[in-house]
Amino acid sequence: MLKIQDLKVRYGSIEAVKGVNIEVKDDAIVCLIGSNGAGKTSILKAISGVVEHSGLIEYNGEDISSASNIHIAKLGIQHVPEGRQVFPGLTVFENLEIGCVNWRGYFGKADHKEELEYVYSMFPRLKEREKQLAWSLSGGEQQMLAIGRALMGRPKLLLLDEPSMGLAPLVIEELFQKITEINKKTGLPILMVEQNARMALSVSDYTYIIEQGQISMEGASADLIHDDRVEAAYFGKSWKVKKEV
């Protein structure tokens, strides 16, 4: 599905990503975890073609290292950036329609009823609020809208950047249930950046730990969640005590 080799991203004199190798297999949820500034978001931006980079990015056998972001989106790589970034002055329905642009065109007439029904089935609150302006939604609803907009684009690979950012614990739990459901029911592979390490490891199949632009550790998420080094770095004493009770 997706293979990345020796990926490097530089912002002026600062090397944010220092030669990482990452693979996302069909049907899998893969997570990138690490501290702020570790380079996780830069990796997603490189895949989407919105930052300059070096190294190989291969998608379904095609070298997309130098492809435009428009071509990458048309291939089915849909990116949900951090901070949600919905269009605040448009309604929920209008935001979702924008997600069809990559396959329908700006003024296309192709029917998107099937995609819309699927998004509403996954996120019923969007159906209830389809005529509301996006700015009036809660943070959790805006995140659902951002993911829903990506699903309208007929994704073959979904990139999620910090989906839990700024959300309440109960909302985070609901959102990750939906992300898991989307993957399990459709087989849609997902590459996700997430600072909530416990949640990321609990829902993903494979995890890469990024530190200072490099991969410091990787493995099956079910193994890493019990690794003492991961516990010490990301879960803290409260998690250790809870696990032993």
Range 197-228 burial, b when 16+ CB lie within 10 A, else e = bbbbbebbbbbbbbeebebebbeebeebbeee
The answer to whether 157 touches 77, Cβ cutoff 8 Å, is yes
- pTM, entire model: 0.87
The predicted-structure confidence for 3-40, as pLDDT tens digits, reads as follows 999 999 999 999 999 999 999 999 999 999 988 888 99
Query: In terms of Cα–Cα distance, which of 173, 153, 154 is closest to 163?
Result: 173
Query: In terms of Cα–Cα distance, which of 216, 185, 223 is closest to 202?
Result: 223
Is residue 46 helix, strand or coil?
A: helix
Confidence of residue 158 (pLDDT cuts 50, 70, 90): very high
Q: What is the pLDDT of residue 240?
A: 44
Q: Which CATH number is correct for 1-76+157-245, 3.30.360.10, 1.10.1740.10, 3.40.190.10, 3.40.50.300?
A: 3.40.50.300
Please identify which residue in the block is written with the tokens 């409260």: 238
- E-assigned strand segments in 41-196: 54-59, 62-63, 77-80, 157-161, 190-193
The predicted-structure confidence for 34-66, as pLDDT tens digits, reads as follows 888 889 999 999 999 999 999 999 999 999 999
Domain ranges for the chain, please list them.
1-76+157-245, 77-155
Q: What is the pLDDT of residue 110?
A: 57
Share of the chain above pLDDT 70, in %: 91
